[in-house]
Amino acid sequence: MTINNHLKRIGKSKKERSKASSVEYDLTDTFESDSPELLRGEKSWLEKLNPFRRGTIPSVPKERSITKEYNAGLISRLYFHWMTPLMTIGYKRQLHENDIWTVNPLWETKITTSKLQANFEKHIARGSRNPLVFALYETFKRQFWISGLCQLSASIIQATCPFLLRYLIRFAQLAYNAKNGGPPPLSIGIGLSFVFGLTLLQMVQSLQINHSVYRGMVIGGAARASLISLIFMKAMKISSKAKAGHESINESSTLKNCSEGFKTHPKKKNPGSKLKNSQTSDGIGWSNGRVMNLMSVDSHRVDQASALFHLVWTSPIACIYTLALLSINMTYSALAGFGLLVLGILVMTEVTKRLFSRRKNISNITDQRISLTQEIIQAIRFVKLFGWESAFLIKLQQIREREIYAIQILLAIRNAMNTISVSLPIFSSMLTFVTYSLTNHPLEPAIVFSSLALFNSLRIPLNLLPLVISQTADAWSSISRIQEFLLNEDLKNTLQVDLGADTAVEMKDVDFTWEQTPTGQAYSEKSPKPNIGIQSHLIKMTKIKSSILQAKNKTHDTSECGPHNKRVIVNEKSPINNKTPFQLQNINLSIKRNELVAVIGGVGCGKSSLLAAIAGDMRKTKGDVEFGATRAFCSQSAWIQNTTVRENILFGREMQKEWQLTPSDDPYFIPANPS
């Protein structure tokens, strides 16, 4: 009994090890062994009988390859045959990251972004009212029209097939009458030609629809990636004045916004006048939360609307073509149903106008909610210390309730549009057949079934039209918001750089100021809260003390008057009470090379503002600033790259061994007691 129990335990342990190995096989991301037995694993009897499961399971490649579409031929592109290798791998085993191909080199983000940026600059120089829309069109014009023509041909074929059904039914009717003693039927070849013709048209229609949707989704993905890149680049160089919510277009006739990437040129007849009238500041400003909303929500709406966008203009054409065929079938009786369709389309057009304004209002409320949420998270320490959780939660809940209420109204309007679009073909066909019968027309099977199929063909474009219209309205609103952000002025580099100067930083009678929102609240990079949320934490400041610690313990104090330095004067007016932004005035500062500088002072005395001025976050209003070396600004919040310590120190620059070894001979870096 003991031996048998021992053998059973051995058998159980073997089974457990086999199960563990199978689990390990399922969880591994790479296959180190090429053994067919290991790659196959254990198969069930059903998988062994499946002919598609036969053969070895392919191993995971070590690196990703370019998409097969890039080198695919015409037939492979036409029937999407280039997807077969990936589908085969996915059928045999679970897909891994290296199985997924990289993007087509023609659709890389850096390529599409450079094209979009160049086209955007061109249309700004022309003074276009919607430069971003025209820039997107020119960037993806070829694929856009290929997708549109495919959708148009598919819509026409969709209406042609029910009309050809009339002749096929009539052929069958004549053949039935001939069998019952009527006139001789037509040749069988005519009937077969109708059958094969309808089949071929259905195949072509399927290919056209798939190519239209596929190319639309590709355009949407590329447009979204390019817009995110433009928004990110703009966020890195937007001026603090524009970020605070001031006018996005200069008062001069020429456009001087948009940095090196968005430079414009003067035109003969006041270019940019259209832009000046259409793009005005809303006073809200561009906080980090609002910019993140552009990158995540608004760019996604553009992507979402690209797949079926062409239904906006192909659906009316398909409806007109279908009604023309109905007029051939049912003569003037089709005008009754046509009138009902026109009435329904006019109602949906009027409702669509309401969608544009409501979507814009919802976007503004969403910006407020995201901005407030980000502000609460950034200032969570003060919120917890002062016990403001309930107050901010109530305020956040109020904004969310407003947003939900607006979204509910928007969805109610969309559902009403869907109800109208679904019921229109049904009531139109009923009205048409009633009119056709009351006008003493014979109800022939060929005419009745063909006309009924034509009305059914209207369901798809009319059912999708409200969805596409609402998506287009959202995308248009998002593009307008992104365009408004991109048209803001960039940070002007008023600081001089002379790498051969004796000093690292030289300031002479310089004034700096934070920006002020149009609503009168002070705005700074540390406190991006122009309208809502936590009040700006700028405090009354009296002076700035700075000490320069050198290797020889030499100290400078910028708060004292000296032979070369003037006293630093800080604006005594409170930015909250008197609505005057905080300013640094009459700064005279000289920092030599190889000096270690510390800015010392009490809480709220302006240390961070001085560093922000050196970093370029505050706007210089007077004086001269000269840098004799490159600069790097490390914020007070802890942050580190997800890489090695060396890469965090180098920060993308090349490693210089001599710099690393030089401090080891300096007495200041040698411990006092080496033992």
**pLDDT tens digits for range 351-376:** 877 777 787 788 888 888 888 888 88
- What's the confidence (pLDDT) of residue 636? 64
Q: Determine the Cα–Cα distance for residues 208 and 157; give it in Å rounded to an integer.
A: 10
Dump pLDDT digits (tens) for 130-140. 999 999 999 99
Q: Determine the Cα–Cα distance for residues 335 and 607; give it in Å rounded to an integer.
A: 78
| Strand 596-598 versus strand 583-592 pairing type | unpaired
Q: Determine the Cα–Cα distance for residues 26 and 497; give it in Å rounded to an integer.
A: 59
Q: How confident is the model at residue 262 (pLDDT cuts 50, 70, 90)?
A: very low
For the chain, percent of residues with pLDDT exceeding 90:
21
Sign of dihedral through CA atoms 375, 377, 382, 385? positive
- What's the confidence (pLDDT) of residue 437? 82
The DSSP code for 332 is: G
How far, CA to CA in Å, does 401 sit from each of 289, 395, 415?
A: 19, 10, 21
Question: Which of 582, 578, 574, 577 is closest to 617 using CA atoms?
Answer: 582
Q: Determine the Cα–Cα distance for residues 6 and 2; give it in Å rounded to an integer.
A: 6
- pLDDT, averaged across the chain: 76
Residue 544 above 80 pLDDT? no
- What's the confidence (pLDDT) of residue 562? 38
Residues 338 and 329: beta-carbon distance below 8 Å: no
Strand segments (E) across 103-254: none
How far, CA to CA in Å, does 606 sit from each of 515, 547, 555, 626?
A: 15, 14, 19, 21
Place of tokens 């969403």: 366
Residues 506 and 593: beta-carbon distance below 8 Å: no
How far, CA to CA in Å, does 539 sit from each of 12, 218, 377, 408, 544?
A: 73, 51, 21, 42, 13
Question: Which of 227, 232, 257 is closest to 242 using CA atoms?
Answer: 257
Place of tokens 């050198």: 550
Q: Which CATH class is domain 111-486?
A: mainly alpha
How far, CA to CA in Å, does 566 sit from each of 468, 513, 562, 597?
A: 65, 18, 7, 18
Amino acid at position 643, single letter = T
Residues 417 and 471: beta-carbon distance below 8 Å: no
- Check: pTM over 0.85? Answer yes or no: no
DSSP 3-state percent helix, strand, coil across the chain (nearest 5): 60, 5, 30
Q: Determine the Cα–Cα distance for residues 122 and 140; give it in Å rounded to an integer.
A: 15
- What's the confidence (pLDDT) of residue 280? 45
| Strand 619-627 versus strand 569-570 pairing type | unpaired
- What's the confidence (pLDDT) of residue 265? 40
Which of 149-163, 393-407, 539-553 is predicted with the least confidence, judged by mean pLDDT? 539-553
Angle of CA points 147, 151, 152, to nearest 5° = 115
Q: Determine the Cα–Cα distance for residues 260 and 257; give it in Å rounded to an integer.
A: 9
Q: Which helix (H) or strand (E) holds 233?
A: helix 188-237
Residues 358 and 410: beta-carbon distance below 8 Å: yes
DSSP lists the bridge partners of residue 557 as 547
Three-state SS sequence of 361-390: HHHHHHHHHHHHHHHHHHCHHHHHHHCCHH
Q: Determine the Cα–Cα distance for residues 313 and 344; give it in Å rounded to an integer.
A: 16
- What's the confidence (pLDDT) of residue 577? 44
Dump pLDDT digits (tens) for 51-62. 766 667 788 888
| Strand 503-513 versus strand 619-627 pairing type | antiparallel
The DSSP code for 331 is: G
Sign of dihedral through CA atoms 620, 626, 632, 634? negative
Q: Determine the Cα–Cα distance for residues 25 and 60; give it in Å rounded to an integer.
A: 12
Burial 339-373 (b: 16+ CB within 10 A, else e): ebbeebbeebeebbeebbebbbebbebbbbbbbbb
Dump pLDDT digits (tens) for 305-346. 999 999 999 988 988 898 889 888 888 888 888 888 888 878
Q: Determine the Cα–Cα distance for residues 147 and 347; give it in Å rounded to an integer.
A: 28
Dump pLDDT digits (tens) for 75-85. 999 999 999 99
Domain borders along the chain are 2-99, 111-486, 496-636
Residue 627 above 60 pLDDT? yes
Residue 125 above 60 pLDDT? yes
Question: Which of 541, 538, 542 is closest to 515 using CA atoms?
Answer: 538
Question: Which of 245, 518, 537, 531 is closest to 395 using CA atoms?
Answer: 531
Distance, C-alpha 661 to centroid of its chain: 46
| Strand 619-627 versus strand 496-497 pairing type | parallel
Dump pLDDT digits (tens) for 583-603. 888 888 888 888 888 888 888
**Region 289-318 average pLDDT:** 90
Q: How confident is the model at residue 557 (pLDDT cuts 50, 70, 90)?
A: very low
**Region 530-541 average pLDDT:** 33
**Region 23-44 average pLDDT:** 44
For residue 7, how many other CB atoms are within 10 A of its CB?
10
209 Cβ contact list (under 8 Å, min separation 6): 150, 151, 154
Place of tokens 């109905």: 326
